[in-house]
Structure 1
Amino acid sequence: MMNDQQLLRYSRHLLLPQLDIDGQQALLDAHVMIIGLGGLGCPVLQYLAASGVGRLSLVDDDRVELSNLQRQTAHGSADIGLLKVESAAAEVQRLNPDVQVVTHAVRANADWLMAQLSAVGDAQEEQVKVDLVIDCSDNSKVRYDLNRACIAHSVPWVSGAAVGLNGQITLFDPRQTDAPCYRCLYPSLDNQQLSCAESGVLSPLVGIIGAMQALEALKVLAGIGESLSGRLLTFDALQGEWRRWGISRNPSCSDCQN
């Protein structure tokens, strides 16, 4: 149950009839893994921490560089050279010291994700079941590995991407019957997508997409509204225009049909 300080901290959430005390308690009880602590991961972790998600697992093996600071708002000039998980963990604690933070200075891969999304602990630390994953990695190989791990362990995940002047967001939820997966949407990308380092990105764009990822995560965790499962939202920053696309499950998908 929430104490008096928490009731005050989250009072604007509690005023929402769709969320109320039960929804906020679900956030406090939740465990979310964020993969990638760059332009997308920064607003995601900031909004989830501020909203009271009880446990955040932060995953990134990179260090803060000067070129990151144009868009990665959880890191500052004093953090250059630090591991991003260290800088990000400090930002979470600054925003909300009640949030439990677990850091993983690793590059996520298939075996690691399979192990982390299982509910089995190890000798080093107690492992708490991950309720939802948010992918902010900008890496299609990681997304394919994550897709298979989430299907194997029935864990929903929010996918976001932003490069240049365009962004997109969707949710993949293997708990739902006939829900499409990442490979249904992208059968074979082979990491051919352009990165921000290659084509640039407008700073607020990653904030918009990251905030939308956080919003979708909160909705799923609290069980409110209509999720983006089966829908892809794309955003054209130059035109200020959102478009919605339907996603169908591929009956011959090598990931979700096995």
Structure 2
Amino acid sequence: MLSQNERERYSRQIMLFGEEGQERLKNATIFIAGAGGLGSPISIYLAVAGVGRIILVDKDTVERTNLNRQILHYDRDIGRKKTASAQEKLREINPDVAVEVIDTTIDETNVRDLVGEADGIVDAMDNFPLRYLLNQVAFEKKIPLFHGAIRGFYGQATTILPGKTACLRCTFPNPPQKEVFPVVGVTPGFIGMVQATEVIKYLVGTGELLADRLLLWDGERSVVEEIALERNPSCEVCGGRTRHGGDAL
């Protein structure tokens, strides 16, 4: 049940999907991998929306070079753990939401325990080996993976539903080379809000998800395009592949 304070806080959302929808958000647990450029806007907007439990995992400390895009962290946080900085801000933003932070590196040995009984996994990482690992765990646990990636003014997002859509491995069979890539802060802001929107729609059960659709954002031209995705029986994870291939970011 929603408290009176929650009914007031979420009154504009309740107009959209009712108290039942808001209670679904309150009862949900979302796992966010990364508290950086994408993880910042995603966690902020899930917190203000009232997702009841947010698990945020990151190992890094805040650096000055992060501050052009990682909006959870301020100048005063330089040198602090990103998890501590993020938890502090998110609790201030919405004290009714449980924010669990874990300061660790996600790998094969711990990822399944870290995700636990979460209702969905948000990919806010910046490297494909970890993304593939999250993709694998999503299929094992039969929970959605909300993928996002950015580079410069460009970004992409899709929602992967195990057993129903193409997965990340068959969509991007060849990962890009690891690099320190350029980025302007508005790009992860845009893609992060797309991912957060997908999470909210999924939990509430409204709207049309980015299922088997790869959203492409060209910030230089302010253009949004889509690539249709299709499962492929030869995929090692899900049996899915793209109908039209794309380059990973």
- CA drift at 1:257: 3.8
CA distance in 1, matches of 2:112, 2:232: 23
Q: Which residue of 1 aligns with 2:123?
A: 135
The answer to whether residue 196 in structure 2 is matched with residue 210 in structure 1 is no
1:230 maps to what in 2?
212
The residue identity in structure 1 corresponding to 2:156 is: Q
Deviation, 1:250, is 1.5
Q: CA RMSD in A?
A: 1.4
Secondary structure of residue in 1 paired with 2:215: strand
Specify which of 166, 170, 173 is matched with residue 184 of structure 1. 170
What is the deviation of 1:188?
A: 2.7
Q: Runs in 1 of length 4+ with deviation above 6 angstroms?
A: none
Correspondent of 1:200 among 159, 164, 182 = 182
Structure 1 match to 2:244: none
Q: Greater shift after overlay, 99-108 or 42-51? A: 99-108
Q: Which residue of 2 aligns with 1:247?
A: 229
Secondary structure of 2:146's aligned partner: strand
CA shift for structure 1 position 157: 1.1
Post-superposition offset of 1:116:
3.0
Deviation of 1:92 after TM superposition, in Å, equals: 0.8
The residue number in structure 2 matching 1:4 is 4
TM-score, L = length of structure 2? 0.93
State the distance in 2 between where 1:102 and 1:216 align. 21
Match of 1:124 in 2: none
Unaligned runs of 5+ in 1: 119-128
Cα deviation for residue 165 of structure 1 reads 1.3
Q: Distance in 2 between matches of 1:112 and 1:230?
A: 29
**Once structures 1 and 2 are overlaid, which stretch shifts more, 41-50 or 106-115?**
106-115
Whole-angstrom CA distance in 1 between matches of 2:194 and 2:177:
25
1:99-118 mapped onto 2 (5 Å cutoff): 99-118=97-116
Deviations 1:26-75 (A, max 9, x none): 00000001111111110001101111000000100000001111111110
The answer to whether residue 145 in structure 2 is matched with residue 157 in structure 1 is yes
8 Å CA contact 2:31–2:115 kept in 1: the answer is no
Using the TM superposition, give the Cα deviation of residue 193 of structure 1 relative to its aligned residue in structure 2, in angstroms. 4.9
Looking at structure 2, the residues matched to 178 and 131 of structure 1 have their Cα atoms a distance apart, in angstroms, of 16
Residue in 2 that maps onto 1:126: none
Aligned partners of 1:184 and 1:248 also within 8 Å = no
Q: Which residue is 2:201 aligned to?
A: 219
Amino acid at match of 1:38: G
1:15, 1:114 → 2: CA distance?
Answer: 36
Residues 186-239 of structure 1: CA distance to partner in whole angstroms, max 9, x if unpaired?
A: 1131x5154xxx331111111111111111110011111111111000000010
Equivalent AA in structure 1 for residue 126 of structure 2: D
For 1:247, what is the secondary structure of its paired residue?
strand
For the 8 Å contact 2:115–2:121, the answer to whether it is kept is no
Supply the distance in 2 between the matched residues of 1:153 and 1:257 (Cα, whole angstroms): 16
In structure 1, the partner of 2:243 is none
Q: Partners of 1:247 and 1:49 in 2: how far apart?
A: 30
Alignment partners' CA distance in 2, 1:178 and 1:132: 15
**Number of positions where the alignment pairs a residue of Structure 1 with one of Structure 2:** 240
Percent of residue pairs identical:
38
SS at match of 1:37: coil
Residue of structure 2 in register with 1:42 after alignment: 40
**C-alpha distance in 1 between matches for 2:198 and 2:111:** 21
| 2:10 matches 1:28 | no
